[in-house]
Structures are given as structure tokens and as C-alpha cells.
């Protein structure tokens, strides 16, 4: 591995530039990826390690980012657990049988990683041993975010069914959290064991819950996941990211994660003022990628200035790359950050 700036920043070894990578950087706006997607679905790609590893490495080659993130979806471990899920274009994950009762939860099977998802591990081994000179980030969906799809049956705006189960059926909720927590530990640990250098937990939709409900019904499981992974991989950095989670940052700083990912609603300087000691990651509003360079540059400068004041900072978007973003702009951003920070 030639470029270790991402890992160095987290470990407190000051790199010679601010590391930068983008969520959803593998695919999305890349022309080569769009050609591949004309022939294969996401799940079909992930079942082909050589093709999946190639897509994983594309943004490193095209943008010059300091880390790769494995190309897959947070839904990847659910089908082997007996969940019938389809990723519908323009909609997202859709569940054939949404979870409503304890019986539904009991039908979910434990994740047998080696037998169920060998192609994921093969992709990691191939990418890290032959193709990448930067760290590879593995990932999983957090229990709440996965539960929201399982319970709602698909994407939601209110997450009312999920929040209702949390407070009105706590026994069912706890049983579901237990299964998703166990899966998360197994899944993340296996990715690290196969060669990933770090992992990120995407709790994309947990901003829908209050801090009170998070502390009671979610925090204990998140703590168990991080501690469980750290038992076998104590030096592997773990990042936690969510959208609309500014009110949860006082709780997140108490989790034993190494990096706190911020969306664009959570200013870096305010996160610093909260007393967060972990590395901060973020948090450019994706809308700025469409603006004139002078506007975009000023926003980048302000974010990095706040990140440098915090002391340990990784530049990223405040959410993921959008399909219509200009790849040349993304590359220009990386080059600008490397040359000036």
C-alpha cells in the first residue's frame, strides 16, 4: 500500500495532505460503470469478484482518492439470511415480506459468511492483493437502517412503522436488533479478515429517531457492534455515519468508534465544540458539486479550515455522489485538496 494517508490521519500520524474520498464513489457518475450496469444488476456485479473489484478500484484511478470503498449494497447480507429483497431502479430496496411480528423475526437466519458470501471476501482479497495502493473500506448497514427497510417494506419518509415497533413492540424490536447486531459483527469482522483496512457503518436513516429513543433502543446495540469487531480487529478504524444526525452527536461521541461522519447539516466546528475526540469526516453538501468552481472552492476551504482546527479530519461529501455529477469536478476537488491542504 503506497498511500496510507487515510489510515495515518485516523491513527494520529499526520499525513502530508488531508485525505479525501467520496461516499458512493464506486460507480454512480462514472461512464465505465454505467456501461457495465447496462449488462448487470448490482447483485449480479457483486457475485463476480473480478468485475466487482474493478468497479471498486475505478474511483481511485479516475479521481485519485485516498481510500477505496467496496462496491456492494447494504442489502447484500440479507438474502443469505432468508430475506426476500429486490433493489428496484428508481425506488430502492423493496421487501417481499415486511417484518410485523415476532414470528417474522424468528424466520431471519444467522449469517454464515464463508458459505453465503464467499464472493464478497474474494473481491476484497483480489482488490487488496493485486489492484489497490490505498486502503479498502468495507461496510455494513446499521441495525436501525436495515430494520427500517425490513419493517417499512422499502424506503420511507416518516419511518412511522419502524418507530412504532420500537416503542409499542419492544420485545419484537429487541429480537430484531439482536439478529442484526450479530450479523453486523460477523459481516464487518469477515471483511476485515479478508483484507479490508477499515470499515464504515452506515446508519443512513437513524436521524428519524429522537436522542432519547436512540439512547434506549439503539445505542446499546451499536456499542456491542463496535466492541465486537474490535475484539478481533482492535486496530481497524471504524467510522459511523448517518444523515440528519446532528442531535445524536452527543451520544455518538460516547461510542468507541474511531471516526464520526458528518452530513452537511452538522457543521464541523460545532461537532468539535461538542467535545468529539474522534477523527471527523465530511461534510460538503453535495449540492455544491454542481456550483461554479469559485463557490465550490470557497466551501471546501471553509470545511477544511474547520477540520484542521479540530485536528484530525478526512474530507468527504455530506452524503453520496449523485449519478449526474461531473467526474471532472470530483477529480478537480481531489487534486485541489491534495495540492493545497
CATH code of the domain in which 292 resides: 3.20.20.210
Query: How far, in Å, CA of 73 to CA of 63, rounded?
Result: 21
Residue 114 is part of which domain span?
A: 5-340
> CA 83 from chain center: how many Å?
21
In this predicted structure, what is the pLDDT of residue 28?
78
In this predicted structure, what is the pLDDT of residue 90?
83
Three-state secondary structure along the chain? CCCCHHHHHHHCCCCCCCCECCCCCCCCCCHHHHHHHCCCCHHHHHCCHHHHHHHHHHHHHHHCCCCEECCCCCCCCCHHHCCCEEEECCCEEEECCCCCCHHHHHCCCCCCHHHHCHHHHHHHHHHHHHHCCCCEEEEEECHHHHHHHHHHCCCCCCCHHHHHHHHHCHHHHHHHHHHHHHHHHHHHHHHHHHCCCEEEEECCCHHHCCHHHHHHHCHHHHHHHHHHHHHHCCCCCEEEECCCCHHHHHHHCCCCCCEEECCCCCCHHHHHHCCCCCEEEEEECHHHHHCCHHHHHHHHHHHHHHHHHHCCEEEEECCCCCCCCCHHHHHHHHHHHHHHC
Task: List own/partner pairs for 168-175 with CB under 8 A and 24 or more apart.
Answer: 170/217, 171/102, 172/99, 172/101, 172/102, 172/105, 173/147, 173/217, 175/102, 175/105, 175/106
Task: Give the three cell numbers for residue 230.
Answer: 474490535
Q: Using only the alpha carbons of the chain, give its radius of gyration.
A: 19
Q: Using one digit for the tens of pLDDT, what is the confidence trace for 104-122? A: 999 999 999 999 999 999 9
Compute CA distances 214 → 144, 153, 251, 261, 272, whole Å: 10, 21, 8, 17, 21
Positive or negative, the Cα torsion across 243, 244, 246, 251?
A: negative
Our count of domains for the chain comes to 1
Cβ(207)–Cβ(244) below 8 Å? yes
In this predicted structure, what is the pLDDT of residue 330?
97
In this predicted structure, what is the pLDDT of residue 29?
84
Query: How far, in Å, CA of 287 to CA of 176, rounded?
Result: 36
> CA 323 from chain center: how many Å?
18
Per-residue pLDDT of the chain (341 residues; tens, 9 = 90+): 899 999 999 999 999 999 999 999 987 789 999 999 999 999 999 999 999 999 999 999 999 999 999 999 999 999 999 999 998 888 999 999 999 999 999 999 999 999 999 999 999 999 999 999 999 999 999 999 999 999 999 999 999 999 999 999 999 999 999 999 999 999 999 999 999 999 999 999 999 999 999 999 999 999 999 999 999 999 999 999 999 999 999 999 999 999 999 999 999 999 999 999 999 999 999 999 999 999 999 999 999 999 999 999 999 999 999 999 999 999 999 999 999 99
Q: Using one digit for the tens of pLDDT, what is the confidence trace for 36-87? A: 999 999 999 999 999 999 999 999 999 999 999 999 999 999 999 999 999 8
The two beta strands, 85-88 and 92-95, are antiparallel
Cβ(142)–Cβ(183) below 8 Å? no
This prediction's pTM: 0.97
Amino acid at each position: 500500500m503506497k498511500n496510507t494517508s487515510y489510515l495515518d490521519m485516523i491513527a494520529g500520524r499526520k499525513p502530508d495532505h488531508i485525505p479525501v474520498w467520496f461516499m458512493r464513489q464506486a460507480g454512480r457518475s462514472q461512464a465505465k460503470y454505467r456501461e457495465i450496469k447496462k449488462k448487470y444488476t448490482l447483485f449480479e456485479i457483486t457475485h463476480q469478484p473480478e468485475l466487482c473489484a474493478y468497479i471498486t478500484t475505478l474511483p481511485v484511478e479516475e479521481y485519485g482518492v485516498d481510500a477505496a470503498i467496496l462496491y456492494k449494497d447494504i442489502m447484500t447480507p440479507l438474502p443469505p439470511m432468508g430475506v426476500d429483497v429486490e433493489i428496484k431502479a428508481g425506488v430502492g430496496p423493496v421487501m417481499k415480506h415486511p417484518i410485523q411480528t415476532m414470528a417474522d423475526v424468528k424466520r431471519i437466519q444467522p449469517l454464515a459468511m464463508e458459505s453465503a458470501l464467499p464472493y464478497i471476501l474474494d473481491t476484497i482479497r483480489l482488490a487488496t492483493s493485486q489492484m489497490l495502493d490505498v486502503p479498502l473500506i468495507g461496510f455494513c448497514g446499521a441495525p436501525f437502517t436495515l430494520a427500517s427497510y425490513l419493517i417499512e417494506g422499502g424506503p420511507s419518509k416518516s419511518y412511522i412503522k419502524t418507530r412504532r415497533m420500537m416503542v409499542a413492540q419492544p420485545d419484537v424490536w429487541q429480537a430484531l436488533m439482536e439478529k442484526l447486531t450479530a450479523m453486523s459483527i460477523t459481516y464487518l469482522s469477515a471483511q476485515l479478515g479478508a483484507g479490508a483496512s477499515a470499515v464504515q457503518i452506515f446508519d443512513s436513516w437513524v436521524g428519524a429517531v429522537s436522542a432519547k429513543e436512540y439512547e434506549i433502543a439503539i445505542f446499546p446495540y451499536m456499542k456491542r457492534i463496535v466492541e465486537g469487531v474490535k475484539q478481533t480487529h482492535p486496530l481497524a478504524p471504524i467510522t459511523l455515519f448517518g444523515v440528519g444526525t446532528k442531535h445524536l452527536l452527543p451520544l455518538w461521541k460516547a461510542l468507541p468508534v474511531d471516526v464520526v461522519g458528518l452530513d452537511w447539516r452538522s457543521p464541523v466546528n460545532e461537532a468539535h465544540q461538542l467535545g468529539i475526540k474522534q477523527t471527523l469526516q465530511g461534510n460538503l453538501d453535495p449540492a455544491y458539486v454542481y456550483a461554479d468552481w469559485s463557490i465550490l472552492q470557497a466551501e471546501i476551504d471553509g470545511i477544511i479550515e474547520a477540520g484542521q482546527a479540530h485536528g484530525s479530519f478526512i474530507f468527504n461529501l455530506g452524503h453520496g455522489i449523485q449519478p449526474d455529477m461531473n467526474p471532472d469536478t470530483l477529480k478537480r476537488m481531489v487534486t485541489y485538496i491534495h495540492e493545497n491542504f
